[in-house]
């Protein structure tokens, strides 16, 4: 068993909710005005994972979404191709068979609550990869984490990462359920240490993303990079529905991690609504494409 308390002591964190919010707001204040423009909106669009994770998803709805991604260049040549599409595991093969654009195919395992067997998550990951998924988003076992069972959490992430083979693993922290800044900090570090390539804010099924969580996660990525020289990505999801929200989070990541982190290899936004809002902002007309 890893000595988790010793590991966490390597990364001291003493911020209160108030100090985190103050620093996050300062980062927004320092960046928002210069970023809130069409150039940034297009760069943000490049990082999007166009997401559909509804109980009502079916083959035809997935086909329609994929065809819109395929046709985006022709329909709106001013709009960049997004980073990827995110669907339930059952629809990975459908998306893979229809996509003509070179975008990532993400899927989710243990979604949305992570309350199933590790073996099921491993099998789901392996089957999704076999069907064509290029990235896996797994949900942190939040209950075990909050109970202090760090060993089980660490081992599960490692096992799912192994099942990913050479594909990216994103670990969804479900930050709104972690309640206090120190827990978000520890969950971020634990996930990265266990092998996560990205840490992700929320599923969007519980509590939406907020400024505090993004600032803490980006700060943890920075601290982890400084100590280990490993570069981990951040994915923001859950309630990022407006152009201004995206610019705010983009600015926080820029402020803490630098411009190199703002490409799709290290920064993503998972969304089902933001794409239309960004397109409307860029083209200065109401767009309802996705």
The mean pLDDT value for 21-35 works out to 98
Domain contains 19:
no
The mean pLDDT value for 185-210 works out to 96
Query: Quick check: 1 pLDDT over 80?
Result: no
Q: What is the mean pLDDT of the chain?
A: 97
Question: Given pLDDT bands bounded at 50, 70 and 90, which one contains residue 42?
Answer: very high
Give the residue numbers spanning the domain of 111. Answer: 4-11+35-283
Question: Given pLDDT bands bounded at 50, 70 and 90, which one contains residue 179?
Answer: confident
Domain contains 123:
yes
Domain contains 289:
no
Domain contains 60:
yes
The mean pLDDT value for 17-43 works out to 98
Number of domains in the chain: 1
Span 8-19, pLDDT tens digits: 999 999 999 999
Q: How far is it, in rounded angstroms, from Cα 27 to Cα 20?
A: 11
Domain contains 27:
no
pTM above 0.85, yes or no: yes
Q: Smallest Cα–Cα separation from 57: which of 83, 114, 95, 84?
A: 95
Domain contains 91:
yes
DSSP code at position 55: T
Span 229-262, pLDDT tens digits: 999 999 999 999 999 999 999 999 999 999 999 9
* Predicted local confidence at residue 165, as pLDDT: 93
Question: Can you give the CATH number for the domain in which 76 is found?
Answer: 3.20.20.70
Question: CB neighbours of 13 closer than 8 A, spacing ≥ 6?
Answer: 181, 182, 185
Residue carrying structure tokens 């610019």: 247
Span 109-141, pLDDT tens digits: 999 999 999 999 999 999 999 999 999 999 999
Query: Quick check: 206 pLDDT over 90?
Result: no
Beta bridge partners of 109: 138
Domain contains 174:
yes
Tokens of 10: 């390597």
Query: Quick check: 74 pLDDT over 90?
Result: yes
Domain contains 17:
no
Share of residues in the chain with pLDDT > 70 (%):
100
- What angle (nearest 5°) sits at the alpha carbon of residue 163, between those of residues 53 and 131? 50
Catalytic residue ranges:
137, 200, 235
Residues 185 and 220: beta-carbon distance below 8 Å: yes
Residues 54 and 278: beta-carbon distance below 8 Å: no
């Amino acid at each position: 068993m890893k000595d988790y308390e010793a590991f966490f002591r390597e990364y001291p964190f003493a911020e209160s909710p108030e100090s985190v919010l103050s620093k996050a707001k300062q980062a927004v204040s320092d960046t928002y005005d210069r970023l809130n423009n069409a150039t940034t909106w297009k760069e943000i669009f490049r990082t999007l994972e166009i997401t559909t994770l509804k109980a009502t998803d079916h083959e035809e709805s997935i086909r329609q979404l994929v065809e819109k991604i395929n046709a985006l260049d022709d329909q709106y040549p001013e709009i960049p191709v997004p980073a990827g599409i995110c669907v339930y595991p059952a629809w990975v093969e459908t998306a893979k068979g229809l996509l003509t654009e070179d975008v990532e195919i993400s899927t989710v395992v243990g979604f949305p609550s992570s309350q199933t067997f590790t073996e099921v998550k491993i099998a789901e990951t392996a089957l999704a990869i076999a069907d064509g998924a290029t990235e896996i988003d797994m949900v942190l076992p939040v209950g075990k984490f909050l109970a202090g069972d760090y060993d089980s959490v660490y081992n599960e992430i490692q096992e799912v990462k192994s099942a990913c083979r050479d594909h990216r693993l994103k670990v969804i922290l479900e930050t709104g359920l972690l309640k206090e800044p120190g827990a978000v900090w520890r969950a971020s570090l634990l996930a990265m240490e266990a092998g996560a390539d990205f840490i992700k804010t929320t599923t969007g099924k519980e509590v939406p993303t907020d400024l505090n969580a993004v600032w803490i996660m980006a700060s943890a990525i920075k601290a982890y990079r400084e100590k280990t020289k490993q570069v981990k990505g951040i994915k923001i999801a859950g309630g990022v529905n407006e152009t201004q929200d995206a610019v705010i989070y983009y600015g926080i990541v820029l402020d803490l991690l630098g411009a190199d982190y703002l490409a799709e290899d290290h920064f993503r936004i998972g969304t089902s609504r933001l794409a239309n809002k960004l397109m409307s902002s860029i083209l200065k007309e109401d767009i309802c494409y996705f």
